[in-house]
Structure formats: structure tokens, C-alpha cells
Amino acid sequence: MHSEAGLDAGHLVIAIPPEQSRIFTIDTAERNRRLASREGLDFLPSGAALDTLDASPRWALAVPDGVLLEPGFAARLPETKDICKLFDGSASVVWGPAPVVASWLSTGCPDILPAVPVPAGLLLNTRTPEAAARARSILLSRTGKPSDGPISRHINRPISRQFTRLFLWLNLSPNHASVICLLIGIASAWYAAQPDPISLAIAGFLYQFASMFDGVDGEMARVNFSESEKGAWIDSSIDYFTHAICLGGLVIGWLRSDVGLLELYALAAIAAGLLLVNAGVARLVKQYGPEGEAMLLTHFSIWVNKAAGRPDCPTTLRMANALFPIVRRDMVAMLLMLATFTGYRETLGLLVAFGLGIGAYALIFHKRRIIAESDRGSGIAAKASVAGPARAESS
């Protein structure tokens, strides 16, 4: 008897031949292999020798061609006492002790097993054109990230997923999407460098479009489980480069217009503030965040949100946290686009200065509280509580 729900590390996922079905640009069996590896399970391709399983104490999941496993399946399978067929709608797999499953496979997979339902969403069928189309839509709908803001969830993702669908249909790679996103950012910077208001509006639209399109490469990678550190580095590098060149374009365009001495000083102050605040956030996340993490502002805002939820949190930090969604990239891109439609670069300067003020306040006056909520800052939290509120707030 299998004493607990779910597959344990070291158990098996077995592909049932033939391996012919594809979803997007990948064989269904290969996608299942990648997922099984992520969840700590061994994978046997179709045609592999099964005689080694005759005395195996492990349990096995036999997956027919055209059936997709979804993340979390290993921990969410129900308890069973013997071999059975697990089904989710029209998709089904066979689960049981490895020797029994091997014997079932060797006898031609007779369809006489008891059927047990599994939680919805664990299995997807792709064996008919209609089922495959439905599976593609479901997979694309699951490509979002927990850190997505409201603009990303309700505006950017619905649009970017259509580009993701198209790029996958064209058999393009995530790197192709990254390069196109870079070109959009360069075009936005070029228009931002022009002094006329129409070019400014086009720059704002392209900047928002680049923010939306930035999700395509990640969605393409997540749908096929092909994420990599190199891909994440390329994505984040293009993201930061787009920010930098668009800011440079705005500065050039501002200088090319009729700018006064006061505006020039304000522009210099905003540019310096951007460099200092971004450097401070980057240093903090690099020091206390996960190794190799590229989403710097995302982690910083998460830590601020955690600190704001503490009972002893100052009201001012709670207020700053309430305004933090404004400085998220998706919200910033949308607000900047709307600001460019006014034709006044001063509006952009005020928005950027406001966001800088929020970040600088949290970074300067509540640094220790924020570090205490980081991935590697729990020890600091204990020291801060001993040192007292005044010392805990010092930087």
C-alpha cells in the first residue's frame, strides 16, 4: 500500500509509446520529462527496458502520449492501495507500484483498471485538435507570475500572450522576443530624444508597448519549462538597458527643447536621484536577496510590504507601502505613457520625482526594517528588536 498521497522523490514517471504528440514547439513526452526532473522524479522514455522494475519498491506513473502533467502533480496525487487509472476530464494516467505498472504495460495496457478522479488541472489532454487548442489556451493562461501587478495581470498579459502564441506557432525562441523588445525600446528612446510633443507621445506608447512585450520571452520559456539563468540574465539586461536609453532619450529631448536654468537643475537632480536610489536598491537586493536575482525592485517592494504588515510598523512606512504599486514597472510604464500624451515633459519629471521620493524614503529611514524581511535578514530582525526602535530605524 502506498501510505501517503503524492509521489516521493526517486519514484518514476514512465512515458507510454508512441511519442508523437506535440504542444507548441515541444513533444509532450519531453515536456513531461522536464517537469518530472523539476519535481525530483525519475523519467523513463517510451521503449526503455522495464524488467529492472520487477522487484522495485517504487511507485510509477505511466503517462500516455498526448497527456500533459502540470506543476505540482507529484504532491497532489491521491492515495491508492493498488494500480488504478487517474483521470482529469478526458486525460488519464496509470499509477501504482512500479512492478505492477510494468506488468500492465507489458500486457498491452488493458483498460480494466479502477478509475480515480484527481484534482482539476493536474492533467491536460492534447490528443485531438480541439483538446490541443484548449490545452494551449490553458497553458498560456498559466504563464503569469505571482509578482505581476494589476496592469500586468489585466492589460499586459492578455496582449503579450497573443504574441507568445504567435511566436510559438512560428517556432521562434524566447531570445527572438528579447531582441524585438530591445528594438522597441531603442525606437522609444529615439522618439523620446526628439523635441516635439508628437514624438514624445509616440515614445510613451512604445515604452508601454516594450513593457508589455517584455513578458513574451518569459511566457515562452515558462510554457515549455525551458527557463534558464542565461535567459533570465538576457531578459533583465535588456530591461535595464531599455530603462537607461529611454531615460537618456527623454533627457536629450528635454535639452533640445526650450529648457530653462531651473528645469536644468531639476533634471540633473532627478537623474542623480535615479542613479542613487537604483544603486541603493540593487546593493540591498544583491546583498540580502536570492543568489543571482535579477528582479531587484520586485524583491525590494515585497520586503517593504512585509515590513509594513508588522504591528510596530510606523504609519509613514505603511503610507509609503500603499504608494509602492505606483513605482512598479508596469504601472510606471502606463503612467509615463499617459503623461507623454499631455505633451509636457515636466509632467514626466514630476512623476519620476514622486516615485523616487517614495523609494528614497523607505531606503533611507527604514532600511533595517526592510532588511529584516529579506531572504537573509532574519538575524538582523532579532538584533533590531533587542536594540530598540530608534536604533532599528537607523541606516
pLDDT digits (tens, 9 = 90+) for 236-250: 888 888 988 998 898
Averaged over 122-146, what is the pLDDT?
92
Are 139 and 46 spatial neighbours (Cβ–Cβ below 8 Å)? Answer: no
Question: Rounded to whole angstroms, how far apart are CA atoms 395 and 392?
Answer: 8
Domains of the chain: 12-139 (3.90.550.30), 146-392 (1.20.120.1760)
pLDDT in tens, 336-391: 899 999 888 888 888 888 888 888 999 899 999 999 888 665 544 444 443 443 33
**pLDDT for residue 377:** 58
pLDDT higher at 155 or 373 = 155
Q: How far is CA 9 from CA 59, 61, 149, 335, in A?
A: 10, 13, 34, 47
Query: Which range (94-108, 153-167, 293-307) has the least confidence?
Result: 293-307
The answer to whether residue 23 scores a pLDDT higher than 70 is yes
pTM comes to 0.81
Question: Rounded to whole angstroms, how far apart are CA atoms 362 and 341?
Answer: 30
12 CB-side CA count, 13 A: 26
Question: Rounded to whole angstroms, how far apart are CA atoms 363 and 302?
Answer: 13
